[in-house]
Amino acid sequence: MEKIDALRSRLPDDARDLKLNLQSVLTNSSLEPRQRWGVALAVAHALDAPALREAVLGDAAAEVDDATLSDARAAAALMGMNNVYYRFRHFMDHAGAAEDYALPARLRMNRIARPATDKESFELYCLAVSAVAGCELCVTSHEKVVRQAGLSAEQVHDAVRIAAVLAGVATALRFTP
């Protein structure tokens, strides 16, 4: 993890916990390496942190195939759209206006049904990005699919831990020269 280690060295002392957590979540995980790196890539693409994205991409490239790289990008892009739309629907439901917006989404999401890798991994990437975006409907929907596909609660937990740490690192990088 040469690129990640270089990025960790740039983090300020205020983010010491993140330095330790970043190494831990990317090495100690119940996820297989392809899923671990796919989650990290999807989240890194979703966050506005070019240095983080480039470090994750640099180290992941040796560990994953082109299909995983493609699915991570697609998950980040689709969740960029879906997290906004479905969070709005959730807000309107809580505001008592669900009936007003009980309309078809009419948003194309074909890639979710036909990922380049496998459905449970793609859904896991979507789950991690949705956790960062705070979309309850998307998180619960993707969590249900990955659990039904056979992933364990520990694997879901590890994916969200990766997402949480990367989000924290992205924040720390904003106050790093």
CATH code assigned at 95: 1.20.1290.10
The domain of 139 spans 2-174
Chain-centroid distance of CA 109 in Å reads 17
User: 17-20 contacts: CB < 8 A, separation 24 or more?
Assistant: 18/165, 18/168, 18/169, 18/172
Q: What is the pLDDT of residue 36?
A: 98
Q: Which of 78, 128, 133, 135 is catalytic?
A: 135
CA angle 19, 162, 144 (to 5 degrees): 165
Alpha helices by DSSP H, 49-176: 50-60, 66-94, 110-113, 119-133, 136-148, 153-174
Judge whether 143 and 120 are in contact, CB under 8 Å. no
Question: What parts of the chain have a pLDDT lower than 50?
Answer: none
Q: Which of 69, 127, 129, 138 is catalytic?
A: 138
Total number of domains in the chain: 1
Q: What is the pLDDT of residue 47?
A: 97
Active site residue 138: yes
Active site residue 135: yes
